[in-house]
Structure 1
Amino acid sequence: MAAPHVLALPFPAQGHVIPLMELSHRLVQHGVKVTFVNTELNHALILGALVSKDGSSRLGGVDMVSIPDGLGDGEDRKNLARLAEAFSEVMPGELEKLMGRVSDSSVSAGGEELTWMIADASMAWAFPVARRLGLRVAAFNPSSVAMFAMRMSIPELIRDGVVDEKGLPKRGGTFRLAPAMPPLDTTELSWNRAGDPKGQPVILDLILRNNAATHLAEAVVISSVQELEPGAFALFPEVLTAGPLVSAEYKPAGSFWAEDDSCAAWLDAQPAGSVVYVAFGSFAIFDRAQLVELAEALALTSRPFLWVVRPDSASEQWLEDLRRRAGPCGRIVSWCP
């Protein structure tokens, strides 16, 4: 009997790709065939960051494929509102065509056609596509159960007067989703802190449509453990835990940029508990004045620090200036393992 064949679809951001890739490695270890779908841009970044130069499209046993993201050359792919529009306009059709090609190719090679889709909960627009083609569906949430609960509770937050119909705060202060959960500030809702305020309605609309499609999933898998957030798990006791998603053995993680392994030796040489770690993920953009101010602030702490400055966020001239300001205490790398 052929191995089950899963299509994995992450949200196209570094912090979403890596956890789903780690879950995919677990599935491969259990004999499941996994085809991992990135946008064309991220696919090229991941393959370019691999140590292997053989041109392989396999990543630790995971087959790598790609689809267009619907944005044109030079468009800002850190504009989440524009990405959200592309999810609706272009990607569903491209995904359906890809799924047909993947199944046909697998069967012709003596393997199994696609049977399951595991997609990021922020890509639930893909669930109707999968169900229409006869696939079973699971939703994967790479962040906390609390974050999942927050998004799924938007109708209740509107009903209770915490936010308005646009998702904007109707009052200041804090609220709790459940008695055993920590308080949350009304100004810290994720859909209102994701870029240009003009684009927030588009992002909220995508979240609501994703929420509506989540019922098509047979399972919701969360990258967390019950002991970390029992209050949030009490709201969604049916979710499956798959955390912590870390590996003791080396597996290619799907990084967009080459990892600087040398920083590990530097860390080992510092006193225990002494290093300030500075990283802002794959989306944040800073101007030169902000980078300089942060470098000077870190230097003033007189503590060792490890600072990730992405290759696409600073020119080589800026980096040299930052290293000079950092002095001997600071280590600046392009991307950390």
Structure 2
Amino acid sequence: MAKPHVLVIPYPAQGHVIPTLELTQRLVKQGIKVTFMNTEVNNKLVTSNWLDKDSFGDLISMVSIPDGLEPWEDRSDLCKLTLSILQTMPNKLEELVEKINKEDDDKVTCVIADDCMGWAIRVAKKMGIRRAAFWPASVATLASILSFQKLIDDGIINNKGLPLKEETIQLSETMPPIKSENLGWVCFKDVATIESTFKLIQEAEEAFKMTEWFICNSTIELEAAAFSMYPKLLPIGPLLASNRLADQAGHFWQEDSTCLTWLDQQQPSSVIYIAFGSFTIFNQTQFEEIALGLEHTNRPFLWVVRPGMTKETTTEYPNGFMERVGSRGRIVSWAPQQKVLAHTSVACFMSHCGWNSTLEGTTNGVPFLCWPYFADQYHNESYICDIWKTGLRLENYESGIITQGEITSKVDKLLSDKTFRAKALDFKEKVTTSVREGGFSHRNLSNFIEWIKEI
């Protein structure tokens, strides 16, 4: 008897691949056959850094198709990448599905695609395949995407997605406010990237209309107002490997797990953990201010400095910095973040506020120091600081630089005020309850899996 066979398609970015691969593993655990489709470049990165990729036997297959760019081309150029994806990948996806259905007894019965890959939903519909969309970021961000026509009608953006005026947008009273210049597709530096990203936004809104299920990596306890705006959206998160006591997969860089041993040697609730995700880039001046700010806190810190995090060819620390901080500071190129945030020695999380990091910190009851870089991270900062009140903003004021004094001052304020930790622990309990058996997210995921099995 043929098994249900799901083709899962993430958007080709680190923050999208990780939760989509976590969803894949939940399906496989329930006996569902999954083909996980990455771009060729990302597939090599993920499979080379996934320590346990053989644990599911023949139920999971990692495949790839080209994104249309040459291997050496810069995929951080989102305008170029987006246009290439839209030109290349739809036809390649059709070819892949036809190849699978020809060679595999278990034909593809369902496509689950990241909503930023809305074209894949359109291809699935064309081929007569059942389809579901997955949203790995905050539902507040998705709500702003699904409301783009209203923003046009209200004269806030034009029909190419460009802002017409500076305005603070609040889609409902209890949703985080967002400045028009910080909308997910607007916050890039050049018009061409904004316009090309807006094409993905329009595809995402169309995909919303063509899906039978639309599942989200969030929870009603965190985003009740956003979910109430769009009842079709169903929370199934947070999707974290730590919830099933497993190692996280989908990393583009090799984790340095030796930092966990270093954490074991620190006092409870003493360590500042600093990580800015896979996209954030600093200039040398800002990088040095971070280093000196951490030094002047006189607290232990674990700092993730990934390759390419500064604009310079090599990362330069302030003179004498390493000698002065000594063993009080630990610097790694990539960390097993879920395990770090679960560690009892971690006091707070200085973060770019990517949604994965936001969920990981919240699930572990860790208060935040917020430093958003782009896109949905401003929504998430507003949740943390304005709605949930589990963290503080780091302000750059007029200089454009967040100073060492601002860093030390906010660290002291966050850690001396116990209400931040108390609120964070309260949200931890609410969020973890939702993914336990009987919780709202757990029930939604179980119902979704049953739907897949019935196809």
Structure 1-normalised TM-score?
Answer: 0.89
- 1:57–1:64 Cα contact (<8 Å) kept: no
Counterpart residue type for residue 275 of structure 2: A
Q: Secondary structure at the match of 1:163?
A: coil
Deviations along 1:34-55, whole A, 9 cap, x unmatched? 1101111111111221336xx9
Which of 90, 93, 99 aligns to 2:91? It is 93
d(CA) in 1 for partners of 2:252, 2:170: 36
Q: Which residue of 2 aligns with 1:70?
A: 68
Aligned-pair Cα RMSD in Å:
2.6
- 2:219–2:238 Cα contact (<8 Å) kept: yes
Which of 175, 185, 191 aligns to 2:185? It is 191
Change (3 A) 1:184 1:115: same
Which deviates more, 80-89 or 250-259?
Answer: 250-259
d(CA) in 1 for partners of 2:318, 2:231: 47
Q: Which residue of 2 aligns with 1:302?
A: 298
d(CA) in 1 for partners of 2:107, 2:267: 53
Change (3 A) 1:302 1:195: farther
Which of 254, 272, 275 aligns to 1:279? It is 275
Q: Which residue of 2 aligns with 1:130?
A: 124
Change (3 A) 1:58 1:194: farther
Which deviates more, 294-303 or 40-49?
Answer: 294-303
Change (3 A) 1:60 1:175: farther
Q: Which residue of 2 aligns with 1:79?
A: 77
For residue 117 of structure 1, report the CA deviation from its aligned partner: 0.5
The answer on 1:333 being equivalent to 2:327 is: no
Counterpart residue type for residue 300 of structure 1: H
Q: Secondary structure at the match of 2:111?
A: strand
1:53-202 superposed matches below 5 A:
61-107=59-105, 112-202=106-196
Among all aligned residue pairs of Structure 1 and Structure 2, give the percentage whose two residues are the same amino acid.
Answer: 44
In structure 2, list runs of 5 or more residues that go unmatched.
337-455
Which deviates more, 198-207 or 120-129?
Answer: 198-207
Deviations along 1:280-313, whole A, 9 cap, x unmatched? 2222333444433322232222222222222344
Change (3 A) 1:216 1:270: same
Q: Which residue of 1 aligns with 2:380?
A: none
Q: Secondary structure at the match of 2:104?
A: helix
Q: Secondary structure at the match of 1:26?
A: helix
Deviations along 1:110-166, whole A, 9 cap, x unmatched? xx1100000000001111211222211100000111111010001111212333333
Counterpart residue type for residue 95 of structure 2: K
Counterpart residue type for residue 31 of structure 1: G
Deviations along 1:189-211, whole A, 9 cap, x unmatched? 11112454442111112211221
Change (3 A) 1:105 1:251: farther
d(CA) in 2 for partners of 1:171, 1:315: 31
d(CA) in 1 for partners of 2:3, 2:69: 35
Q: Secondary structure at the match of 1:155?
A: helix
Q: Say which structure, 1 or 2, has more relative contact order (CA 8 Å, 6+ apart).
A: 1
Q: Which residue of 2 aligns with 1:267?
A: 263
Which deviates more, 38-47 or 169-178?
Answer: 169-178
Q: Which residue of 1 aligns with 2:251?
A: 255
Which deviates more, 301-310 or 253-262?
Answer: 301-310
Q: Which residue of 2 aligns with 1:44?
A: 44
For residue 56 of structure 1, report the CA deviation from its aligned partner: 6.2
The answer on 1:246 being equivalent to 2:240 is: yes
Change (3 A) 1:229 1:252: closer
For residue 98 of structure 1, report the CA deviation from its aligned partner: 1.4
Deviations along 1:66-101, whole A, 9 cap, x unmatched? 111111232110111111101211111111111222
Change (3 A) 1:45 1:322: farther
d(CA) in 2 for partners of 1:281, 1:287: 16
